């Protein structure tokens, strides 16, 4: 699980949200059998979390989209493409405009390998 990783991106419904970078927080939980890695202590027997983080970073810092649902889906699809990953849960949150009484707008999705 990676919790609280943060990146800047230009995503949102309003034009101003896409013009000025905002902070997005991402949590990713990966479902993978860790038994072999626990026995061998070898990175190649588990998931390299640097790859998982890179997928989230490239998605958030990449192409502008309207919905945080789209960001979460793209991150989930990228993580599911990694070997050994059976399922993934992704949470993407962003802080609304400074005048908003809401602490964060977020989505939480889970996807499994087909």
Q: What residues does each domain of the chain span?
A: 2-112
Q: What is the pLDDT of residues 45-78, one digit of tens each?
A: 999 999 999 999 999 999 999 999 999 999 999 9
Q: Which residue out of 25, 57, 84, 94 is catalytically annotated?
A: 94
The domain 2-112 is placed in CATH, from the list 3.40.470.10, 3.30.1130.10, 2.40.340.10, 3.20.20.70, at 3.30.1130.10
Residue reference for tokens 């609280």? 4
The neighbour count for residue 50, using CB atoms within 10 Å, is 8
| Each residue's pLDDT tens digit, 26-46 | 999 999 999 999 999 999 999
Nearest-angstrom CA–CA distance, 36 and 6: 30
Is the entire prediction scored with pTM above 0.85?
Answer: yes
Is 57 catalytic? The answer is no
Rg value, the chain, Cα: 15
User: What six digits make up the tokens of 68?
Assistant: 């945080």
Task: Give burial (CB, 10 Å; 0-12/13-18/19+) of 96.
Answer: middle
């Amino acid at each position: 699980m990676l919790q609280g990783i943060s990146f800047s991106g230009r995503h949102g419904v309003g034009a101003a949200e896409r013009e000025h970078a905002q902070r997005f927080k991402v949590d990713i939980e990966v479902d993978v059998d860790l038994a072999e890695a626990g026995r061998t202590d070898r990175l190649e027997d588990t998931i390299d979390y640097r790859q998982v983080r890179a997928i989230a970073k490239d998605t958030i810092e990449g192409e502008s989209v309207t919905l945080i649902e789209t960001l979460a889906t793209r991150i989930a699809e990228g993580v599911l493409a990694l070997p050994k990953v059976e399922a993934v849960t992704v949470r993407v949150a962003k802080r609304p405009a400074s005048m908003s009484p809401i602490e964060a707008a977020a989505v939480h999705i889970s996807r499994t390998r087909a």
